Amino acid sequence: VVLSTSVGVFSSPHSCWWRRRKGASFHVSAISYKKFIGFALNEAKRQTHLVPSPLQEQFNSMISVDGKAELQMLSFQAPKIRLLRSMSIETEVMQVLDFAVFPEPEFDVPIFCANCFSTSSTNIVVLDLNPLHDVIGRRDYKDRYYKSLMPLGLKYVELLPWGGKLTSESLKFFSPIVLWTRFSPSQDRFDILYSAFMDYYKAWFELIKQAVGETDASQIMSNREAQHRYLTWRAEKDPGHRMLTKLIGERSSKELLRNFLFNGINELGSRTFLDYFPEYCCEDGTINEKRSIIGKSFENRPWDKRGEFIG
């Protein structure tokens, strides 16, 4: 099963039929994130010893309720890597990529995060090495992982402008090099996005390669809790939920979110969403369904060129 899926992924970079020919206009239906996945798996295989995750058997491929969309899931593990997983969705009108790599709790290395949502009218993208710990309060952590990456971030920040206001709570999960952008379909932008994806991914592998595993139990615990908090946030409030529920129904979508996309929720900790984010508690003790309590903010990029938070 893994093989057949991978073959599909790997065959696509060789058949770049969508590539721009001189004078040809850009057809949105031609967008595909398959080459992103193909690159990511090849690069990971070059860098480390990937083996299929036990999750692969359960989460492989799904067809949407209306029969029009296929969801493809791939998952692996490797030394230092708890989970490397991908979900892509392709329909006639929409293409989605949700790609993430989570380190083992011995490492406080950031989480690789690429989320792209494309239709014929827009592309919504978050590409980042999401910090595990607070980069606004903990300068040591920020400097350790992001100082040397600022030039890379700045290069793409100029090419992929800030996407405008967003759920304010999301910001503490983002790093000073986050690429949060929206753009209308264009081959040039799509090429820039692919290049950014490759560069950020390679940068992430550099970080994990150099990282030395923590041996102090309380540090490991703190990494574990930080990752659990991140997973808990995304499994509950990620902007893709509504679309996933529409595609595969509420039950399957919950299952996909908790057991595949944000796997680790049941293993890395036992605190609940409301333990981490009590401001979402309704009077009757349930979780407020709003995505944001504070509201949307940050019309402009809230970091300066040195990566200082100015929001």
Q: Judged by CB under 6 A, which of 30, 62, 152, 243 binds ligand BLA?
A: 243
Is residue 161 within the footprint of ligand BLA (CB under 6 A)? no
Task: Return the closest-CA partner of residue 183 out of 13, 39, 28, 8.
Answer: 28
Q: Interacting stretch for ligand BLA, rule CB under 6 A, among 48-56, 77-85, 165-173, 276-284?
A: 165-173
Q: How many other C-beta atoms are found inside a 10 Å radius of the C-beta of residue 112?
A: 25
Is residue 106 within the footprint of ligand BLA (CB under 6 A)? no
Is residue 181 within the footprint of ligand BLA (CB under 6 A)? no
Alpha helices in 211-271 (DSSP H): 217-237, 241-248, 250-255
3-state secondary structure of 114: strand
Q: Which is nearer to ligand BLA, 24 or 294 (CB)?
A: 294
Is residue 85 within the footprint of ligand BLA (CB under 6 A)? no
CB 174, min distance to ligand BLA, A = 7
Cα separation of 158 and 189, whole Å? 12
Is residue 113 within the footprint of ligand BLA (CB under 6 A)? yes
Beta bridge partners of 117: 96, 124
Q: Judged by CB under 6 A, which of 9, 41, 101, 126 binds ligand BLA?
A: 126
Is residue 136 within the footprint of ligand BLA (CB under 6 A)? no
Instruction: Retrieve residue 287's tokens.
Output: 């979780």
Q: Which is nearer to ligand BLA, 20 or 172 (CB)?
A: 172
Q: Are 167 and 296 in contact (CB under 8 A)?
A: yes
How many residues make contact with ligand BLA (CB under 6 A)? 20
Q: Which is nearer to ligand BLA, 20 or 141 (CB)?
A: 141
Which residues, 196 to 235, sit near ligand BLA by CB under 6 A? 234
Is residue 104 within the footprint of ligand BLA (CB under 6 A)? no
Cα separation of 301 and 311, whole Å? 8
Is residue 124 within the footprint of ligand BLA (CB under 6 A)? yes
Cα separation of 94 and 241, whole Å? 15
Q: Which single residue is written with the structure tokens 């040809």?
A: 24
Q: Which is nearer to ligand BLA, 18 or 112 (CB)?
A: 112
Instruction: Retrieve residue 21's tokens.
Output: 């020919």
Binding mask 276-295 for ligand BLA (x = CB under 6 A): ---------------x----
Q: Which single residue is written with the structure tokens 């991140």?
A: 230
Cα separation of 274 and 269, whole Å? 13
Task: Return the closest-CA partner of residue 187 out of 77, 66, 28.
Answer: 28
CA distances from 152 to 117, 207, 239, 240 (A): 23, 14, 27, 27
CB 233, min distance to ligand BLA, A = 7
Q: Interacting stretch for ligand BLA, rule CB under 6 A, among 113-121, 140-148, 194-202, 266-274?
A: 113-121
Q: Contact positions toward ligand BLA, by CB under 6 A?
A: 89, 96, 98, 113, 115, 117, 124, 126, 130, 166-167, 170, 173, 234, 239-240, 243-244, 291, 296
